[in-house]
Amino acid sequence: MDLTRILFEDFAPAAIGLFYVLACAAVATFGYGVYVQVRKYGRGVPVAFSGELLARFKAMLGTVLTHRTIARRDRMAGGAHRLIFYGFLLLFLGTATITLDYDILGPLFGVHFWHGKFYLGFSLVLDVAGVLLTAGLIYMMYRRGWLRPPKLDYARPDRQPADPDYDRSAYRREDWAFLWTLVVIAATGYFLEAARLVWLADKPDIWDTRWWSPAGAVLAEGLRAAGMTNTGGAALRLELWWLHGLLALVFIALIPFTKVKHIFTAAGSLMLRDPLAAQRLPRVPEEEKRVGAQYITDFSWKQLLNLDACTKCGRCHEACPARATGAPLSPRDVILSLREFANKTLSSADLPPEVELDVHGKGPGQVAMETLWACRTCMACVEVCPVAIEHVPVIVQMRRKLVEEGQMDPQLKKTLQTIHKTGNSFGESKRKRAAWTKALPFPVRDARKEPVDVLWFVGDYASFDPRNQKVTQGFASLLHEAGVNYGILYEGESNAGNDVRRVGEEGLYETLAAANVKAMAGAAFKSIVTTDPHSFNTIRNEYPDFGGRYEIQHYTTLVLKLLQEGRVKLARKLGLRVTFHDPCHLGRFNKGYEAPRDILRLLGCELVEMGRCRANSFCCGAGGGRIWIPDPVGADKPAHNRMREAAAIPGLQVYVVSCPKDLTMFEDALKTTGNEGKFVVRELIELLREAIEQEQAAPTPGVVAA
């Protein structure tokens, strides 16, 4: 029961005193570093959070302990990080336990528990923890040094080699320093234990219980086999004691100044995450002097914390459709640039003048206009980030400043002016919004004049684009045949504003939202349906801020219900080999994954999933207002990338979409990628109409009959 380990065995009082002086210096340095970081965050805009703090803490703790966000889409890296995390956590708790016994309970209360059976079990647990930590670190070294996934190369698509902040080799050096420091700390700990065992091998209570520290015992056996004596073990133990201790103290002191601080900032980011970060963008307060973010101090303190939470894992860099097609944007680099800028300007005791706080431009740490306009606001970066960084709101805030100053593509500026003037992006008269109804053999109710059960919010592309009008008419016929009591707002409907807001034109968005809420207030209905995922997102998630709280569903949910209730009857099975594209605003934004797939199965289609599907779906490129911004001539586009992915599916007949913008983007990409005739792009509604019709329609050109 007296068995224990004397920390300062054979140490002179002066050596013990020196260690405690160094330990206090390390803790003081750590505390100062924390103060500097907190001061930096405090220079951001105050922000309040909804939800109970305890509930947020529990959610964060669950995410951290399960590692579910880290293991997602990268199981090996997630598994290695899990070994590092739990190994480090156990070793930290072990160190804290020794401190509690040795420096607090013992001296103050004469209470000691670090001995006997507890000590032996403690030694075994920490020995295993060190093995777990080392194994995880070695895999991470192998991954960086030999596997070298492209997402970890830190290549910058938003800079040229001649730019002063193009080179990010310092990040690579920091990564390797972090890994090697932990490996050396773990290794010196094991060899320290081995040297101690050799030194005290003549004491039976020490040597006979050596296997409670299995890794140290194996090394000790090796040292003895190599001829090390008790005296040699004592000398090696003393040297390793100081090396191990000093490395640990330096590690603690540097936590707030290095990537190690992600231990705290990542947890804080997860705890304060907004589950609707990109789905529901913040309003500009009426008292706000500036629109959008021009200076680093225009971001909230939470966003500044987000910048520090980034671990440079590159998952957002890899998932970004703009980056994948050669645009000068990487969500990772936007975050890292702003972090570098914040560290440079906000960490000093005094703030520099405002001109030095401007985050727009091409200087070190600034973000270029071309980078911001390349974003599709598809939320792929937000979805994949393991530490809940919210890239899209940051980009949109910066876009708002560009829009305020008129720094945008001329075509985009013209489109925004058109929407402001006519209420739609096509520049058509409001009276023509429902012109598509004239070709129908039945009337479509005006929800402003008579009560309906379902209000159909049609949207711009479904109302005005000739190709999409055919789909719109097909859905109207489907609702009519199913006996659904529905109506539309006719000229009372305006552009829903989802993409206008994500462009950064907040004033116009609020005008559109207010107009639509007012129009819907003048109609009597029970629920809303829309064929446009973009409209679906903003009405569902953002209109409540403008007094518009509705029960709304995407058409796929309503159609599935009608099929299940037998109100829509299928005349035949299609028997087509299809793949389905998840629209960003239906899938990632609102988790609407199952209804379209269930419908395809009911239609008798063989569904073959693409590699990037559901939450990992690849954007068509239209989002964030990019459908209104011309791409450079000859440039690759996200829709092209997606068509090539679909073309790799053997025997594919139909590429199925459920969004008007997707139909527009992908039909064009089908032609420009040379895949026309190999398969076709069809709206799910069109497949439904084919299955409902009693007489089989003529086969679509390029599609082999099933």
Tokens of 534: 């973009």
Residue 610 has pLDDT above 70, yes or no: yes
pLDDT tens digits along 53-66 = 999 999 999 999 99
Residue 699 has pLDDT above 50, yes or no: no
- The domain segmentation of the chain, as residue ranges, is 13-42+73-153+164-257, 294-404, 422-561, 570-692
Looking at 3.30.1370, 3.90.1720, 3.40.50, 3.40.190, the CATH number of the domain 570-692 comes to 3.40.50
* 189 beta partners: none
pLDDT band at residue 7 using 50, 70 and 90 as cut-offs: very high
Quick one: pLDDT at residue 82?
Answer: 97
| Architecture category of domain 294-404 in CATH | Orthogonal Bundle (1.10)
Residue 586 has pLDDT above 50, yes or no: yes
- CA neighbor of 256 nearest in space, from 503, 580, 39: 39
The DSSP code sequence of 105-139 is: IHHHH----SSHHHHHHHHHHHHHHHHHHHHHHHH
Name the H helices within 310-346: 315-319, 321-324, 331-346
Quick one: pLDDT at residue 290?
Answer: 83
Give the list of residues 6+ apart from residue 300 with CB closer than 8 angstroms, or none. 44, 45, 46, 47
Residue 348 has pLDDT above 50, yes or no: yes
Quick one: pLDDT at residue 48?
Answer: 82
Quick one: pLDDT at residue 706?
Answer: 31
Spatial distance between the Cα atoms of 481 and 473, rounded to a whole number of angstroms = 12
Residue 174 has pLDDT above 60, yes or no: yes
Residue 338 has pLDDT above 70, yes or no: yes
Give the list of residues 6+ apart from residue 528 with CB closer than 8 angstroms, or none. 454, 455, 456, 457, 520, 539, 550, 551, 552, 553
Quick one: pLDDT at residue 694?
Answer: 64
Quick one: pLDDT at residue 287?
Answer: 78
Quick one: pLDDT at residue 357?
Answer: 97
- Residue 456 parent element (H or E): strand 454-457
Tokens of 572: 């035949």
* Beta carbons of 101 and 94 less than 8 angstroms apart: no
Quick one: pLDDT at residue 304?
Answer: 98
Quick one: pLDDT at residue 288?
Answer: 79
Query: Phi and psi (nearest 5°) for 524?
Result: -110, 115
Name the H helices within 522-649: 533-541, 555-564, 594-602, 638-647
Spatial distance between the Cα atoms of 406 and 400, rounded to a whole number of angstroms = 10
Quick one: pLDDT at residue 286?
Answer: 81
Residue 696 has pLDDT above 70, yes or no: no
Spatial distance between the Cα atoms of 433 and 140, rounded to a whole number of angstroms = 57
Query: Phi and psi (nearest 5°) for 408?
Result: -155, 170
The residue type at 545: D
pLDDT tens digits along 265-322 = 999 999 999 999 999 999 988 877 789 999 999 999 999 999 999 999 999 999 999 9
Query: Phi and psi (nearest 5°) for 588?
Result: -55, -45
The residue type at 243: L
Tally of CA atoms within 13 A in the half-sphere of 350 that contains its CB: 2
Q: Tell me the mean pLDDT in the region 655-669.
A: 98
pLDDT tens digits along 502-525 = 999 999 999 999 999 999 999 999
Quick one: pLDDT at residue 1?
Answer: 55
Spatial distance between the Cα atoms of 281 and 684, rounded to a whole number of angstroms = 29
Q: What is the CATH number of domain 13-42+73-153+164-257?
A: 1.20.950
Quick one: pLDDT at residue 697?
Answer: 47
Q: Quote helix, strand, coil % in the chain, to nearest 5.
A: 60, 5, 35
Give the list of residues 6+ apart from residue 240 with CB closer than 8 angstroms, or none. 188, 191, 192, 195
Q: Tell me the mean pLDDT in the region 660-679.
A: 97
Mean pLDDT of the chain: 95
Quick one: pLDDT at residue 704?
Answer: 38
- CA neighbor of 373 nearest in space, from 630, 695, 138, 607: 630
pLDDT tens digits along 115-134 = 999 999 999 999 999 999 99
Report in angstroms the alpha-carbon separations of 154 from 1, 138, 382, 422, 456. 54, 21, 19, 45, 47
pLDDT tens digits along 512-569 = 999 999 999 999 999 999 999 999 999 999 999 999 999 999 999 999 999 999 999 9
Report in angstroms the alpha-carbon separations of 667 from 303, 320, 360. 39, 22, 36
Quick one: pLDDT at residue 701?
Answer: 43
